[in-house]
Chain A
Amino acid sequence: MKTKALIVGLAATLWTGTALAQTELTMWYHGAGNEVESAIINQIVDDFNGSQSEWSVVLQSFPQASYNDSVVAAALAGDLPDIIDVDGPVMPNWAWSGYMQPLKIDEGRIESFLPGPRGYWDGQLYSIGLWDAAVALYARQSTIDMLGLRTPTLEEPWSGDEFMDALAAAQASGEFEYALDLGMAWTGEWYPYAFSPFLQSFGGDIVDRSGYKTAEGALNGDAALAFGEWWQSLFMNGYVPGTSQDPADRDRGFIEGKYAFGWNGNWAAVAHMAEVDDMLFLPAPDFGNGPKIGAASWQFGISASSKNPEGAAAFIEFAIQDQYLAAFSDGIGLIPSTPSAAEMTENYQAGGALEVFFGLSEAQAVLRPVTPGYVVAAKVFEKALADIANGADVADTLDAATDEINADIERNGGYGH
């Protein structure tokens, strides 16, 4: 008996001994509450921990709505994990604020990545994403046929006029409550993500990207004013439900036939295809400076306070294998970051149902302004668009937004540009 206990004890000691040899790395993720997503990320962590004996990643998930606040609070308290998950446009702010460090991984590994998932700030790679997201104009083939419209393609998208004619025709048909659903119920990051590409297609921008020192001219120049007038006309003509749209209508309105067209992301595509037989995903219209959609989604990076950046980098290199990119895509419908991973997925392979989004992402995607000031500029932009939609004077509103962004840039000493 005694010998047996001794052996068990010895074995236990040895076992914990090997476990201790693995250095622990902590990681935070934004996807708590999403079972599919949690299963995939847990799988990656388990595979990584089992594949080598040097590092052991411990994962902690947060609900997306409070994730950024948690990171900011942890940064203020000096309590960040080794590996953090960061939304693409927010990354420059966190890098500049000093709670991320450059990500040292083999550049060859990310050569084939779409531009959106690569997070560069100040010439250095800080974060890398396993997926990207894209937005398309949702439509039905039957609607296009009924209204006698040309089906736009990636090579030949609708012009701004064609787009407005399509909306006018849809409205005049009397078949729909509204011609277009822009998703005004989705307040927050949706506004700059989904709508600032329209502004860029008009020739304006949220800030002047040559230097990122001012928004003057970009957000209140002639192109921006034209965008603002166009934006307001959508609501004044009654083509689009306004800021008080019911979120339930946002989710179901197109499916139920309330709206002729929808402006929506690839994450909603699978649910729509399940209920709409002749679903079409059309490219963004071209308002003069090319058709544009937003790029970049959630990405992985390393916190500045991490004592084991090489371990964290090893994990991230492990996570960006094609099989995991494909797993996320199959699980929640995201666009895999590489063409080779896209081939492994159900929806994005050649002939797949969502292949069009991969093309959209490749051809039309533009990063939101890559600056630490984006966090504030995005909020200012969101409010300006809501106000204009509600009938505020376009020039005054854009001037005010410009002033506010400029004042913020100045108060932050130019945000390190």
Chain B
Amino acid sequence: MAHSKLTQSNAAGWGFAAPAVGLVAVFIILPFFFAFAFSLTNQRLISPNPTEYVGFENYRNLLGLGVLRIEPERDDAGEIVRDAQGDPKYPRVRKWTRNNPDFPQYAGMREWFSWRSGDDKVAVLAKDVIFMKALVNTVIFVLVVAPGQGGLALILALLINQRLRGINVFRTIYFMPVVVSIVVVSLLWRFIYDGNDGLLNTIIGALTFGLFEPRDWLGNPSTALGAIIAMSIWQAVGFHMVIWLSGLQTIPPTLYEVARIEGASAWQTFRYVTWPGLRNTAILVLIVITMQAFAIFAQIDVMTNGGPLDSTQTLVFQAVERGYGKQDISGGSVISVILFLIVLAISLLQRWLTRERG
């Protein structure tokens, strides 16, 4: 057959598909090409100035990195100046990155992180530290949420996949957060995480008989991202629970009967009957959670605005903040394009890892 099935005379099929294809094209595919085009210009949200083509400058400004080895300060005798703890003192990075014509490669960069190597300090500089932090936070978020949420959802699905009286009550409770808007959930969890008299502090305080010092969960850079991860998993786990549940119910009961007759333990039944039967569901759940996790935005916007100290910056939040808040469409577009490439690469990798072998 020389023609593919797509081009054969199936007008009715195309007719049915047309509304969806049209909407996807107008609202998803076309904007993506716009984003890619804008990322190569200096497009503003509103401006009387004409848009100019700037090539890959936006990408360089976002992704530029540099490494700087800094020697400690020495006094007149050549001795290393040390502080009270005996740590060497280093000159500030701004000595190289600001108004220093001898080091044009570091101009406009900021210190991202650093470590000590002997007496020297090695600083990794980035053109756009906030983007780098957003990238790292987003990756951490995905790495925790994808297995955590998927696994928890599976456990919940196994728990409610039983014929017990009143099991529908549990199904409803677990599923309830999914139908509540994420904005409302985020607002409620702001109260739960409140530093003074929040619900979480009160509960932990009561459980530990007052030994626990109340914590400002969202106001502390070391707990803010974790708090948002926990709340995000809680909110979305019910949805994936239902998908797992549908997968569980496609496994023929006869297989379980056989396993029981063969004398398989509960773990063996799960390992050799349930899990293989959930294979396609697992792929779906993993890919969907990964994609959703990369798009994390609403929780950040409502709960922390990326703070404190950029500990909850994420890629989509930064794209919106730059594109709309700071009226820099090109800056937001660059982040969107990079996010697209990352998600595309990971999806392809997941497809490859979970392919049918044989």
Contacts from A to B (Cβ < 8 Å): 69, 72, 75-76, 96-99, 187, 242-244, 246, 375-376, 379-380, 383, 386-387, 390-392, 395-396, 399-400, 403, 407-408, 411-413, 416
Contact = CB atoms under 8 A, between A and B. Distances in A.
Given A243-B307, A375-B327, A390-B308, 9 more contacts: A97-B47, A98-B48, A244-B219, A376-B327, A383-B307, A395-B94, A403-B108, A411-B44, A412-B44
Contacts, number: 72
Interface string B316-358: 0000010011111000000000000000000000000000000
Contacts of B328: 376, 408, 411
Interface in B108-133: 108, 110-111, 129
Contact of A243 (B42, B47, B49, B219): B219
A411 B195 contact: no
A76 B46 contact: yes
Nearest to B326: A376
The 8 closest A-B pairs by CB, nearest first: A244-B219, A390-B308, A97-B46, A376-B326, A390-B309, A413-B49, A98-B48, A244-B216
A309 B173 CA distance: 59
8 contacts: A76-B46, A96-B48, A243-B308, A244-B216, A390-B221, A395-B92, A411-B42, A412-B44
B218 A244 contact: yes
Interface in B185-202: 194-196
B309 A387 contact: yes
Contacts of B129: 400
Contacts of B42: 411
A72 B46 contact: yes
B291 interface: no
A189 B306 CA distance: 17
Contacts of B108: 403, 407
B325 A246 contact: no
Given A386-B308, A387-B309, A75 B221 contact: no
Given A379-B325, A395-B92, A396-B111, A412 B308 contact: no
B283 interface: no
* Number of chain B interface residues as a range: 20 to 34
Given A243-B219, A376-B327, A396-B111, A386 B307 contact: yes
Interface in B41-97: 42, 44-49, 92-94
A76 B45 CA distance: 9
A403 to B, nearest CB: 6
B196 A246 contact: yes
A357 to B, nearest CB: 30
A400 B110 contact: yes
Nearest to B45: A72
B260 interface: no
A407 B98 CA distance: 14
A408 B327 CA distance: 10
A243 B44 CA distance: 30
A360 B352 CA distance: 68
Given A379-B326, A396-B94, A244 B46 contact: no
A255 to B, nearest CB: 17
Contacts of B325: 379
A386 B309 CA distance: 8
Nearest to B198: A246
Contacts of B49: 412-413
Contacts of A244: 195, 216, 218-219, 308
Contacts of A243: 219, 307-308
B307 A390 contact: yes
B305 interface: yes
A264 B20 CA distance: 52
A99 B94 CA distance: 40
A98 B45 CA distance: 13
Interface in B24-54: 42, 44-49
Contacts of A246: 194, 196
A141 to B, nearest CB: 28
A391 B310 CA distance: 12
A392 B46 CA distance: 32
Interface string B210-245: 000000101101000000000000000000000000
A242 B44 contact: no
Nearest to A411: B42
B326 A242 contact: no
Contacts of B45: 72, 76
A76 B47 CA distance: 10
A383 B307 CA distance: 9
Contacts of B93: 396
Contacts of A411: 42, 44, 328
Nearest to B307: A386
